[in-house]
Chain A
């Protein structure tokens, strides 16, 4: 390549309007970093505010793009801004906003590095926002790494606590392992198709049929994402990571990170692998059935609420995977090259939106309650209804939503899954629908354990310390540096259920110390959970308009 060729490089046409959300996020992240360096310590208190405002500002270009409505393919179709991407981008930004609200006091009271925390959060969000527009193996991979790497660091944010380090390390190792498997699969796909563009891959795979190389290629890519969405048997990192990571980060991982995995899967399955339905559908049938069943059964045994929510998240992921098993059975399925919305696709988008708010809500309550109890054991929720009825009612709402009981939103999420499975009209679809139904019942078993504690049980006299509540009970970082596991009595780490050296302390019930930010997070999630349940049309609208564009 001579100099002339280099000079002949033509800058690709950039649609600045289309890229405005990404650029805004980038600018806010930079601003937070620069402000931290430039301003004195006092100004650092502004970081979460700045981040929050920045996220809300990011919604503006998303809205203008949505009003405009045009599909804007860029970079030869590798990056597309369409209605689908806008819906998901808005979701990610809103989730990010709620996570910031959950983090404010947690991070400040824990005396963690504030601005780095928010910078990393914004970077991860940037990756997710990019994922929503990626229509090409390379852009998918770049977005995935961009969202994952900050998340590894966030998981290990309480670096004084061994649990958090374990969380970060496990997440990191499993994450890079998954990336490697996926990359290998992608290289095989590239070998078969000769291109990384979804549309070209689809055409190539249709011509190829289910040859061994195609099967291996597809399975490796899908398995890579199965790690991301913590599908069984690739879920093993999730409970430890969720338990060890700071609670707001756990909420972020369990909602946003998982949704990003599903966003990538939607593009890959519905477009790129459309020609290989024979491989994809049975794979997802088994994956979904195993994920929801195993996730539910293990969740039944948990005594720690975050671990329980982690396994419940695994099971919920199984419900969300189920529509993939009938991805191409729908009559409404349109030929590639056009904009698509099909019932399975619709179901997954709707489920992801509903799941985001109900799960964030549950984590917000966990955060709030732990400010009082400083424990993560389900038994510490005893008698919550008697001393904090409002919080108990909110938790009931979120758990009812997760369990799929109307009028909380989750029922509609489950319903659209049934809808997609039944709409396929195949025996496989019907059987999976019944499996989903049975699992929905099993799931209530563990949500009910929390309900029972909150409503039926007396206030416990002693609780096992353990939740990192933020607050004064956290160790200073200076101390934390040489803190050992024995010094856990200050509650610097979540104590894992199995290796707990539980420090039982006397518990006095009382008003839960609330903060404005946490209250706002609870309000947003509660309103969304209730509104989506009573008027599911609000959320199904987004599922309907989220048409997926590809093909340049």
Chain B
């Protein structure tokens, strides 16, 4: 299964090229800003080029198996190896991460937030890129954990140094919440190592994710699985974030600099949902089945709560942050159904949310730069003062509320649909109730997004802005945003681009769960 030749290096390159770029940047003096930006852009574009190669070389007929595999010794004492691999589940998320980073570098070209220091800002961004790419391709639990944690400090500094008024509080809250989750997660990982068995009851004693997934819980008792699942749930659930652990998210988003918010929303949140699909579900099928109704419940609470939270916001960025809680609720609902459709919808939802919400945060950043405020009541008339930006906001808001024809639809609608007949013997009544609640949530979503759009874009510009020039989209913004807008439309019309890739994996996971639950 291990790749040979150049293919064996592709994933390693994908993970470490940004870090190498960061190292090179450290050697360049701070004053030579242009060179620093060029190196950052170069490193992220070369990484993206590796991604493009992966897109072409990927064997789509075999999307369910790991490709471009690397398996080398790493920490012998604890049996943790350097294992990388790419399958249909990892591919879309990896590419998403590879695309978002260069866009963020381009956007930052003239938008390095206060207090400046492009060097540190871009270095942190590249370290983030390495951590995120690594998380999506790591196939060893300890390696996964390391990459999962690597992203914490850069994001902490990004919020804390370049953030808004309340940045100290927000950054520490972000860090402590996620650290708490990952501390329990690592205990669960170690537990998996020691207690996971194969069907014959022999201990596996491995961190190799594909082996653990193949064992599908082995003959572990349902109760044990549920306890270990709880640790994983804390680790991933806080990251997603699921209600009631979401409270760090609005603070972090509100305070983070624009690019920080974009990366946070577009990719970091996906580490949590990805963890559920990649690790929690396949490794502990019965634990997943035991928890699924509760995850579903928290997901729909998140949908409604996030929507109500949005309606109550007066700040555009905070509103988008709360909408993330709602959208990730749909993703989690899809996962909780334990069906192929649900998991497909979840992965689609992750990518779509990454594109759309990333776009919305870019817009919020640009609005803030022009108006120096995000108070929705003070905005207005964007379509008149900066029509292009107004229309981009329109498209993004429509995509976010799930309008058919744009990417958001394919994350939400199948997720709701999948709740109609959940898998693995889950109660249909419960999930159909969730389905109805989630459907109501989409109405709310239309409500708050249209209301946001109406208040900020319609009407005449407020008198207080008279005499101010509200510049329309500039060329850096065009460069950063065009790919996202294209992706929104493209995935809206051709959802098969993602569904086709993910399908094999989701079917595999759902089947192994129903076998394990049915057979156990």
Contact = CB atoms under 8 A, between A and B. Distances in A.
A407 B78 contact: no
A423 B146 contact: no
Contacts of B75: 412, 535-537, 540
Contact of A543 (B77, B175, B176, B180): B77
Contacts of A315: none
Contact of A444 (B74, B78, B167, B176): B176
Contacts of B3: none
B497 interface: no
A427 to B, nearest CB: 12
Nearest to A534: B146
A441 interface: yes
B190 A422 contact: yes
Interface of B: 30, 73-78, 120, 142, 145-146, 149-150, 152-153, 156-157, 160-161, 167-168, 171-172, 175-176, 179-180, 183-184, 186-187, 190-191, 193-195
Contacts of B145: 406
Contacts of B161: 385, 455-456
Given A415-B190, A456-B160, A537-B77, 4 more contacts: A422-B190, A444-B175, A535-B74, A540-B78
Given A346-B77, A444-B175, A437 B184 contact: yes
Contact of B183 (A440, A451, A456): A440
A272 to B, nearest CB: 26
Nearest to A434: B187
Interface residues of A, number: 38
Contacts of A535: 74-75
A406 B146 contact: yes
13 contacts: A389-B120, A405-B149, A415-B142, A418-B187, A422-B190, A422-B191, A430-B191, A433-B190, A438-B180, A441-B180, A455-B161, A537-B77, A543-B77
**A interface, by DSSP: helix, strand, loop or mixed?**
helix
A381 to B, nearest CB: 14
A226 B353 CA distance: 54
Nearest to B74: A537
A412 B186 CA distance: 11
Select the residue from B30, B145, B153 with max chain A CB neighbours within 10 A.
B153
Contacts of B186: 415, 418, 437
B183 A452 contact: no
A293 B259 CA distance: 37
Given A422-B193, A452-B160, A437 B146 contact: no
A217 to B, nearest CB: 34
B146 A411 contact: yes
Interface in A438-481: 438, 440-441, 444-445, 448, 451-452, 455-456
Interface in A476-522: none
B26 to A, nearest CB: 8
A437 B149 contact: no
Nearest to B184: A437
Nearest to A393: B26
A194 interface: no
A406 B176 contact: no
Select the residue from B160, B172, B179, B194 with max chain A CB neighbours within 10 A.
B179
Contacts of A416: 78
Interface string A407-425: 1000110011011001101
Interface string A513-552: 0000000000000000000000111001101100000000
Nearest to B147: A406
A438 B183 contact: yes
Contacts of A433: 187, 190
A415 B78 contact: yes
A418 B190 contact: yes
A388 to B, nearest CB: 13
Contacts of A437: 183-184, 186-187
A540 B77 CA distance: 6
A400 interface: yes
The 4 closest A-B pairs by CB, nearest first: A540-B77, A437-B183, A406-B146, A422-B190
Given A419-B78, A438-B183, A456 B168 contact: yes
A396 interface: yes
A448 B146 contact: no
A128 to B, nearest CB: 25
A425 B194 contact: yes
Contact of A456 (B76, B120, B167): B167
Nearest to A533: B146
Select the residue from B75, B77, B146, B157 with max chain A CB neighbours within 10 A.
B77
A406 B150 contact: yes
A443 B308 CA distance: 36
Given A389-B120, A444-B175, A407 B77 contact: no
Nearest to B149: A406
Given A405-B149, A423-B194, A456-B161, A445 B78 contact: no
B293 to A, nearest CB: 25
A368 to B, nearest CB: 19
B190 A405 contact: no
A456 B158 CA distance: 10
A444 B146 contact: no
A455 B74 contact: no
Given A405-B152, A419-B190, A437-B187, A455 B160 contact: yes
B167 A400 contact: no
B76 A540 contact: yes
Nearest to A418: B190
A407 B150 contact: yes
Contacts of B195: 425
Interface in A230-261: none
B179 A441 contact: yes
Given A407-B146, A422-B191, A437-B186, A396 B153 contact: yes
A434 B184 contact: yes
Contacts of B120: 385, 389
A445 B179 CA distance: 11
Contacts of A445: 172, 176
B187 A541 contact: no
A10 B28 CA distance: 69
Contacts of B157: 455
A537 B150 contact: no
B184 A448 contact: no
Given A400-B153, A425-B194, A448 B74 contact: no
Contacts of B149: 405-406, 411
A536 B194 CA distance: 20
A283 B190 CA distance: 25
B146 A541 contact: no
Contacts of A400: 153
B176 A422 contact: no
Select the residue from A411, A437, A540 with max chain B CB neighbours within 10 A.
A437
Nearest to B183: A437
Contacts of B167: 456
Select the residue from A406, A412, A415 with max chain B CB neighbours within 10 A.
A406
Nearest to A408: B153
A430 B230 CA distance: 14
